[in-house]
Amino acid sequence: MSTQPVGNGRHRVVVIGSGFGGLFGTKHLKRADVDVTLISKTTTHLFQPLLYQVATGILSVGEIAPATRLVLRKQKNARVLLGEVTDIDLEKRAVTSVLLGESTETPYDTLIVATGAQQSYFGNDQFATFAPGMKTIDDALELRGRILGSFEQAEVAQTQEERDRLLSFVVVGAGPTGVELAGQIAELSDRTLEGTFHNIDPRDARVILVEGAGAVLGPMGPKLGGKAQRRLESMGVEIQLNALVTDVDAHGVTVQDADGTSRRIESACKVWSAGVQASPLGKMLADQSDGTEVDRAGRVVVEPDLTVKGHPNVFVVGDLMSVPGVPGQAQGAIQGATYAAKQIKSELAGKQTVQDRKPFSYFNKGSMATISRFSAVCQVGKLEFGGFIAWLAWLGLHLYYLVGYRSRITTIFQWFVTFLGRTRGQMAATEQWIFARLALEAVYSDSEEGEEIVRGAAGRRPPAPSPGTPAVTAESVETGAPEKPGGDRKVG
């Protein structure tokens, strides 16, 4: 294991995560007399709210995920380390991260943990094989491949039954992500792909939004939820409420209705947007604290100053923190990280002590969800509105929070092309995007040998040729749909 240099004696802040919490926390320490090390398992700052637009061919990855290293280039007191944090030792004050099997230990004086949340399948992780979530760049690209791949397969399908299955898209969960995805898949089939196939009419596609609760956009209340539901229905989206998904397989989903009856929806392309589970680092921190707990979603029930009990130098912010009244949204992460940075700066400048910290207070700036082009719903305080004005507000706000002028300019261009015209600029999809996640899982779960293959492919310690090394083939990877064309070619 290598140890990162201790620095020039300045206060060392380690920030884990390059999402909203990690990046904003780091940026707010720009003028502080500290050395900041930002450690993240991804190379980019991902703007998750626009992931669904990558999945549906509107935006490219670069527009919503600038490289963190480039974003922080001018911040002289900050450096970026790529690696997955696997251990945090609160006693020793050190963080261990791993990059392709190589461990690095980074000591800290103050720690900000902003590792967010991941998709939750409520104990049914096997669903992930057939219904990817929407949390990462890989998820969005895989989904784009699956959506577009389903249309391609439908074009060559031999039977009407198979065509129907391939043209049925199931979105599980009617929160903002589910609503946005369902709306965009409907627009993709009705506007963008219309007239581009010979054997099928993409407008025949069914988009089915399945929700276990009784309302669309439940937390936004009945008025806005009703508006969103009516708009989606006018676009042809089928909304099934009080419908619990109890099983997912390669060919479809099983749904249980409120009266207890079970039924099938045959579908090749399924998307899971139904729940979140906090990063496992939350539990690791709680276990080492003086009695801090995690809630049911694994979020850390932090102290009023966003720290864990007995460790006032360890802040937990963003989706990983549990604070009553603070939603798992970008604003919660930004405000929490800004608060943590402010405490660090004030204490180092001698303006306050740990005991003087005022509790974190959240300013609710509202929430919004877009449904289709020209239509969104918006809630600001007691004000609730929907339609075109809400959509313009949504557009402006998302542009404002996108990082980097270049991203903003190209995003405006892509939106112009998509919303005013019928085409989309990012309709590429490859076989690798669809199958790589499952192939990698197979490689890693297989053996140490599999891990060596990946390390070797990445230019690290190439593995010695081994006649016994199992080949990863399409057959060895049990994928969901769309089925891999030319099924005997190697995936890896």
Two structure tokens written together for 230: 């009516």
Are 147 and 220 spatial neighbours (Cβ–Cβ below 8 Å)? no
Rule CB under 6 A: say whether 278 interacts with ligand FAD: no
Least distance in angstroms from the C-beta of 390 to ligand FAD: 13
Rule CB under 6 A: say whether 476 interacts with ligand FAD: no
Rule CB under 6 A: say whether 192 interacts with ligand FAD: no
Alpha helices in 265-421 (DSSP H): 281-288, 330-348, 388-401, 405-420
Residues paired with residue 368 on neighbouring β-strands, in sequence order:
378
Provide DSSP, 185-224.
HHHIIIIISTTS-SS--GGG-EEEEE-SSSSTTGGGHHHH
Three-class HEC string of 389-409: HHHHHHHHHHHHHCCCHHHHH
- From the candidates 63, 142, 180, 187, give the one annotated as an active-site residue: 180
Least distance in angstroms from the C-beta of 256 to ligand FAD: 26
Select from 72-80, 110-118, 373-381, 469-477 the region that touches ligand FAD (CB under 6 A): 110-118
**Residue 305: which residues within 8 A CB-CB, separation 6 or more?**
312, 315, 343, 354, 357, 359, 360
**Rounded distance between C-alpha atoms, residue 111 and residue 115, angstroms:** 12
x/- site string to ligand FAD, residues 131 to 170, per CB under 6 A?
Answer: ---xx-----------------------------------
Select from 45-53, 244-252, 298-306, 455-463 the region that touches ligand FAD (CB under 6 A): 45-53
**Rounded distance between C-alpha atoms, residue 57 and residue 49, angstroms:** 15
Helix (H) or strand (E) holding 268: none
Least distance in angstroms from the C-beta of 95 to ligand FAD: 9
x/- site string to ligand FAD, residues 231 to 270, per CB under 6 A?
Answer: ----------------------------------------
Rule CB under 6 A: say whether 183 interacts with ligand FAD: no
x/- site string to ligand FAD, residues 17 to 36, per CB under 6 A?
Answer: xxxxxx--------------
Kindly tell me which of 154 and 286 has the beta carbon lying closer to ligand FAD.
Answer: 286
CA angle at residue 352 from 346 to 353, to 5 degrees? 115
Q: Does residue 368 sit in helix, strand or coil?
A: strand
Rule CB under 6 A: say whether 41 interacts with ligand FAD: yes
φ/ψ of residue 9, rounded to 5? 90, -5
**Which amino acid would we find at residue 242?**
N
Among 48, 184, 313, 414, binds ligand FAD (CB under 6 A): 48
Among 173, 318, 480, 482, binds ligand FAD (CB under 6 A): 318
# residues contacting ligand FAD (CB under 6 A) = 33
Least distance in angstroms from the C-beta of 276 to ligand FAD: 8
**Rounded distance between C-alpha atoms, residue 308 and residue 292, angstroms:** 6
Rule CB under 6 A: say whether 51 interacts with ligand FAD: yes
The crossing angle, in degrees rounded to 10, of helices 221-234 and 176-187 is 20
Among 171, 209, 333, 429, binds ligand FAD (CB under 6 A): 333
Rule CB under 6 A: say whether 282 interacts with ligand FAD: no
Least distance in angstroms from the C-beta of 265 to ligand FAD: 22
Select from 38-46, 188-196, 215-223, 377-385 the region that touches ligand FAD (CB under 6 A): 38-46
Q: Strand 34-40's sheet: what is its strand order?
A: 78-82, 34-40, 11-16, 110-113, 311-316, 307-308
Look up tokens 């669903």; give the residue.
127
Kindly tell me which of 112 and 442 has the beta carbon lying closer to ligand FAD.
Answer: 112
Rule CB under 6 A: say whether 49 interacts with ligand FAD: yes
Among 32, 281, 326, 472, binds ligand FAD (CB under 6 A): 281
Active site residue 91: no
Residues in region 69-98 near ligand FAD by CB under 6 A: 84-85
With CA atoms as reference, report the closest residue to 58 among 382, 409, 426, 358.
426
Kindly tell me which of 167 and 216 has the beta carbon lying closer to ligand FAD.
Answer: 216
Rule CB under 6 A: say whether 450 interacts with ligand FAD: no
**Rounded distance between C-alpha atoms, residue 266 and residue 255, angstroms:** 11
Least distance in angstroms from the C-beta of 285 to ligand FAD: 12
Among 4, 26, 37, 40, binds ligand FAD (CB under 6 A): 40
**Residue 309: which residues within 8 A CB-CB, separation 6 or more?**
289, 290, 291, 292, 303
As to burial, measured by CB atoms within 10 angstroms (0-12 exposed, 13-18 middle, 19+ buried), residue 230 is middle
Among 39, 111, 239, 268, binds ligand FAD (CB under 6 A): 39
Among 142, 319, 347, 452, binds ligand FAD (CB under 6 A): 319
Kindly tell me which of 22 and 57 has the beta carbon lying closer to ligand FAD.
Answer: 22
Two structure tokens written together for 384: 């609730």
Regarding beta strands 117-119 and 321-322, do their DSSP bridges make them parallel or antiparallel, or are they unpaired? unpaired
Least distance in angstroms from the C-beta of 86 to ligand FAD: 7
Q: Does residue 431 sit in helix, strand or coil?
A: helix
Active-site residue list: 180
- Residues forming the site for ligand FAD (CB under 6 A): 16-22, 39-42, 48-49, 51, 84-85, 114-116, 134-135, 176-177, 279, 281, 318-320, 328-331, 333
